Every structure is written in C-alpha cells, then in structure tokens.
Amino acid sequence: MPGQPLPRTLADELTTDLAGRAAAPVSVIAPFTGEELYTLPHATVEEVQDAALRARDAQRAWWAAGDAHRRAVLLKGHDLFLERRELLLDAVQTETGKTRGQAFEEVFNSAAATRYAALTARRVLRTEGRRAGIPLVMRTRVRRTPKGLVGVITPWNYPLSLALMDIAPALATGNGVLQKADDQGTLSVLLARRAFVDAGLPPELWQVVAGPGADVGSAVVDAADYVCFTGSTATGRTVAQRAAGRLIGASMELGGKNPLIVLDDVNPEKAAADAAYGCFSAAGQLCVSIERIYVERGVADRFVSAFAERVRNLSLGTDFDFTADVGSLASKAQLERVTSHLDDALAKGATVLAGGTARPDLGPYVVEPTVLTDVTEGMQCFAGETFGPLVAVTVVDDADAAVAAANDTAYGLNASVMSGSRARARRVAARLKAGSVNINEGYRATFGSIDAPMGGVKQSGLGRRNGVDGLLRFTEATTVAELTGVMQLPRTGPEFAKMTGLMVTALKALKAVRRR
C-alpha cells in the first residue's frame, strides 16, 4: 500500500521526546512540496549538558544489566523497527525527499546493523587471554568496558541508517548515547528511538537534541567520551580539533568524490543500469554515491550511449510508493549547490548527455539526473563534491589511466570497478585508494556488508564503522597481567646478574619455536 506524508500533528507530538526544547524553534520544510512540515524546537547548550548527565546516569545501570539483557532489548527493538517500517518509510520520504525504494534501503540497513551489533557485542566484550611477556611465568588478559557516553552527530541525507550504524553498536557495548540529529532528519530519528524505547531501552539512555552545529554540536562533543560524526570534510575537521582538544577519540565519515571504472569487457547495458543506480540513488545525496566515471576506450561508445539512455529513462517522482526511480533534492540549498556546479560546468565547455534541467512541475527541488562529458580541471564539479544528481563521464585509454585518474583526488571514501571478469576487477580494485571498493556495484555491496569495516582514507574520514572495528571503537581496553608464582622476576642488581643468562636463553628458545 502507498504511504503518506507525516501529518503535522504527529510531527509535533514526536518532538516531545527531544531532550531540549528551550531555544527558538525553526521551520522544517517538506522537500516534495517546499511547504512547512512543522516547527522544530532547538536545544540550548545547558539542555545538552543536562541531557548528557541523564544519559550518563542511565548508562551505569545499562552496563550493569549485562550483555544478555542488552541483546534482548536491541533484538526486540529490531523487530518493532521492522513492524513499523511503513511509518518509518513515510518519515524518511517526508523529510529527505528520496524515493520509497531508497527509503527502504535505510530501514533494511538500520535493522541489519542493529541485529549485528546485538549478536556480536558479547564476543567483542569477552575478556580474552593474550600472550604473556614470559610464558608460564606470567598470565595476561584483556578486558573491555564501555567508553561511557557516545556523542553521535548525524546528517539529513540518511537519517536512519547513518544513526543506527553508530548508535546500535554504541548501545550494544554498554554505552549511553547523546545524539544531535539534523533538523531535516529529526522525525525519522525520533520514530526509530521510540521503537527501541518501547522494546525496553531506558528513555534516558538515548538522548536526542537538535540545533545549530556551532552551539549544540559543539556541546555534544564537549560532553561525550567518544564522538561519531558524519558530514562534510570541512565540518569534520572542526569536530576532530574539538575532540582532540579534550583527548577523546572520534570516528568520522566525511566527503567523497567517488570514482567508477568501467573496463572494456563489460556488458554495456548491464553496466549502465548498475552505474545509474550508483550515481543517482537518493538523487546523488549520498556520501558513497558515484560522481566520476572513467570508461576504457574500447567500450566507451557502447557504454556511454547505454548509460545516457538509461539515465534519460529514469522515472522521477514524489509519490509515497515504489513508482519512482529518483526523487527530490532535500532543500533549496541543495538545489542551489547542484545548479551552481551544473551552470559552472556548462559555462566552461561541458556537454550534457542526459538531464540537466530542473523540474519544478514535479517538485520545487527536483532536478533531472544529469550526465556530463568534457568536464575539465577548472570546473567546480571536476574535483569538488557535488552531492547531487550530477556525474562526469571521461573516456580513458586503459585501466592504468583510469586508476591514475580515480586516485587523483583528496578524497578516498568509495570506489567501484565494473568488469566482465571479477578476477580482473579485483586486480584493478587492489590499486584504488579508497576505504571501500565495490565490484560490479556502485556502493551497496560494501555499504550492506555490516561485518566489514566502512570508512574513508585521505580527507574522507577517520576510523571505521561496522564490523568488529565498529564495536571496538566504543570500548576501552584494560590489560590485566599477573605472575603465576613459577619464578620471581629480578628486583635487584645481583638478582638481574643471576637471571640475565636464563632470560636471554628464553628469548632465543621462543624465537626457535616461533612463539610470539
């Protein structure tokens, strides 16, 4: 059944769950219509500080409740999340303007991340033995405990999945959460939180605030023991500097200018269809979406023709059902950003192969998916992230040239290789400098692999979410070692004189038997 926009009455009621409401509210616009959806209360810095204290109090009891209890609550939250998926889809579409299919990707990834964190946390937190400095003489263990309070700052473009991919592992490892949700994604976050609270999560444990990054975001960083940030590289630098000033850790997924390499042994039509989705999912407003395509000359004519045709035939729409392939940009600011990049490229000699036109007849922020060629170094979209439905196609002589061009960027978040031979694609993929590389897919192969780490290199981020790495970042490791009593370690000069020969012999023996 088709969904519907979130009614204002529900939006207003959801905001009662916010941890802070004292600052002046702001108007939130529905992308499909450009009209006011509701007014969102913002928090004051003092309210953020109070929310942090409440989350810390709840965290101590949450950790003491044990792994089995945490796992049961999160798994029940997973089930309620799926039961309420239609309302969650409505919320994501209402706030972000994406299609229902791409909103479903969010629900799927959020549930998968929750299940993985709930079922993996016990293994990550288990105290484990490590190789002792002197075997038999010493015994060494490592135990893990939660950081305490995790600050999570989430963007508007994927409000569910980019929240739960950080929040679920933070909760599973026994932490409390203080989240600053983006204004354009707060309702989706609050609906998700309600599912977990209804499943038994203490309401004080997951605090949600909204407000400007300079004030509220900074207050979150100042109150937390660890920070997760998803957003632009420029803002990420500011967050990193503030976290470093407090000597707390941070993980960040930042900007990208993600390349796709099309090798000359592909099926052009299939590669074109896969590339179109990788470029224009969520109208290109995805940190891992493709913005640059390098195609080998041997297949260039067939692929470029098929790709342009595929893009021209994508269905645009703003309905709350599965009829559209591409939805709306999220805001006027996004429309202006994309239009600026497009106008700049055309003024400097780029050629439009598909799209290139705003569609106010469909919605105030709808822009046709656009394919450009002849994009050169002086254009804004050549090296700068557009974060919209705009991709540049460049023909190269061979795979070596494609790899060189793909790696010639300050970013390194995501990349993709398409080939008729997976073995050949893997060889090319191994040469790409990116945190994630997909073969015969744009981004979903890696984005959906929740047991594998995800993150960027170069200016695209710090640390990793997902996988065991994504759980370990929320823990503190403590090494506990003891003497077994087999022998006494030397404490005085004469004792060292007597033991030195024996200890050197032990070192040589350990090397001989290949003991670490």
Which residues are identified as catalytic?
A: 253, 287
CB neighbours of residue 401 within 10 Å:
16
Residue 483 backbone phi and psi in degrees, to 5: -85, 140
Dist CA 510 CA 465 (whole Å): 37
Q: Which residues, including other chains, have CB under 8 Å from residue 234's CB and lie 6 or more apart?
A: none
Q: How far apart are alpha carbons 88 and 280 in whole angstroms? A: 22
Q: Six-digit token pair at 131?
A: 């190789």
Q: How far apart are CA 350 and CA 370, in angstroms?
A: 12
- Strands, E assignment, 254-361: 258-262, 290-296, 351-354
From first CA to last CA, the distance across the chain in angstroms is 60
Crossing angle of helices 85-96 and 67-83, rounded to 10°: 70
- The encoded tokens of residue 495 equal 């004792």
DSSP E strand stretches across 9-85: 23-29, 36-42
Which residues have CB under 8 Å from 478's CB, separation 6+?
142, 143, 144, 145
Using alpha carbons, select from 162, 172, 210, 194 the residue that is nearest to residue 88.
Answer: 194
Whose CA is closest to 47, among 65, 24, 23, 25? Answer: 23
CB atoms within 10 A of CB 446: 22
- β-pairing verdict for 370-373 and 351-354: antiparallel
At residue 255, what are phi and psi to the nearest 5 degrees? -75, 170
Tokens of 410: 């300050």
HSE of 317 in the Cβ direction (CA atoms, 13 Å)?
14
Largest Cα–Cα distance in the chain? 91
